[in-house]
Structure 1
Amino acid sequence: MASGVVPDDQALLEALADGDLGALSQLYDRHAPWLSVRLTRRCNDREVVADVLQDTFVAVWQGAGRYQGRGEVGAWMWGIAIRRLVSRLRTRRDVVLMGNPVSMGSSAAGAPSLAVEDELLQGVEYGDLGHAMASLSPEMRAVIQATVLDGLTTREAARLLGIPQGTVKTRSHRAKAHLRASLLEGRRS
């Protein structure tokens, strides 16, 4: 890589595919902080997040030559990270998923809830959609976050949330209808 020039992500992946480990270091410095934050919002175990982050960058290093240049590199990396997290959490039962404390049984109140900070971040991050999402039940919100915001398949979301695929589909359908109605009502107000 030419000195003094800040390469874009695509150029770094190409350099990494050619064996330039300095490119991996630059990608790590650029993307690890935000990937870690997003993973932490979905899992309360810092060790799991650290392992998933490491696995993600190993996969980036090994798969750099297979990246086809479609979409943003960051989105491609997030896809790798969230799928690694899903794989890692398949057998775990004591994690925080999608910002909701979950023991995969039930909480004291019978349903998980968002922390105040997460609700505020969600409202800022998604605007009107954040407010509409806040009106969803925690179960429907988790399904929408997994399938729509994180881009997981129904099968992956079912594994992550510990529920059947049919339940993911039903909750997703109901949540989208609720969101649609809530957003339309908000526009009329």
Structure 2
Amino acid sequence: MDTDTDTDADVALTRRLAGGDRAALADAFDRFAPTLTRYAWALAGSRQDVEELVQDTFLTLWQKADTLQLSTRALLPWLLVVCRNHARNQARAVAGRAADELPADLVAPEADQEARARLRWVRDEIDALPPLDRRICELCLIEGHSYTEAATMLGLSVGAVTQRVSRSRARLKKAVTHDEH
């Protein structure tokens, strides 16, 4: 399919969803779930969290279908943003539960120092990247900007940012598994 046909199909699918057509939700799931699942794996660390993100994204689509307005006429970018927002909420909830489980005065200083050392090691690995790759990692992986936002800030294409992040993640993953910090 070409891009115009895809966006026309997205607009038609969105209209069907807005009309309460349950088959449209199934069609949206069949069409976008594989892509959303791959994206969710970049945001979450467990199969359960990934499945929850995808499910929450489609639930949000269903709940907001009647008010949904696609600025680009394409549904996938909207779904990816919703998925990212659910991932951020999920991370905040996990962090909140962790904070509730261990009061700050009961956290072992050794554990705190170990966590800081691990983060320092990751930060050192990022600092060793070429300047542009380092800045992209800071924007996308540390500050939480989308690839599109980072591309706009740096005057690059989204594809270039995606490729550089992927390459940097692979380098960091290799360093972690090879060095076992």
Same fold (TM over 0.5): yes
Deviations 1:147-172 (A, max 9, x none): 14165xxxxxxxxxxxxxxxxxxxx9
- Structure 1 contact 35–53 (Cα < 8 Å) conserved: yes
Residue 111 of structure 1, aligned match among 121, 125, 128: 121
Look up the equivalent residue of 2:147 and give its one-letter code: L
In the TM superposition, 1:27-106 aligns within 5 A as 27-71=28-72, 72-93=74-95, 105-106=115-116
What's the offset of the Cα at 1:28? 0.6
Look up the equivalent residue of 2:75 and give its one-letter code: V
Over 3 Å counting, the alpha-carbon distance change for 1:39 and 1:133 in structure 2 is farther
User: With structure 1 as the length reference, what TM-score do the two structures score?
Assistant: 0.54
Answering whether residue 141 of structure 2 is matched by residue 142 of structure 1, we say yes
Deviations 1:39-98 (A, max 9, x none): 1112212211111110110110111111123212111111111111111110325xxxxx
User: With structure 2 as the length reference, what TM-score do the two structures score?
Assistant: 0.56
- Structure 1 contact 82–150 (Cα < 8 Å) conserved: no
CA–CA separation in structure 1 for the residues paired with 2:15 and 2:39: 25
CA–CA separation in structure 1 for the residues paired with 2:84 and 2:22: 23
What's the offset of the Cα at 1:136? 4.2
What's the offset of the Cα at 1:22? 0.7
What's the offset of the Cα at 1:140? 5.0
Match of 1:155? Answer: none
Larger Cα Rg: Structure 1 or Structure 2?
2
Question: Identity over aligned residues, as a percent?
Answer: 23
CA–CA separation in structure 1 for the residues paired with 2:89 and 2:25: 23
Task: Could you list the structure 1 runs, at least 4 aligned residues long, displaced by more than 6 angstroms after superposition.
Answer: none
- Structure 1 contact 111–138 (Cα < 8 Å) conserved: no
Look up the equivalent residue of 1:149 and give its one-letter code: Y
Question: Which runs of 5 or more structure 2 residues have no equivalent in the other structure?
Answer: 1-5, 96-111, 124-129, 161-181
Look up the equivalent residue of 2:26 and give its one-letter code: S
Question: Which runs of 5 or more structure 1 residues have no equivalent in the other structure?
Answer: 1-5, 94-102, 114-130, 152-171, 184-189
Over 3 Å counting, the alpha-carbon distance change for 1:70 and 1:112 in structure 2 is same
* RMSD, matched Cα: 3.7
Q: How many residues align?
A: 126
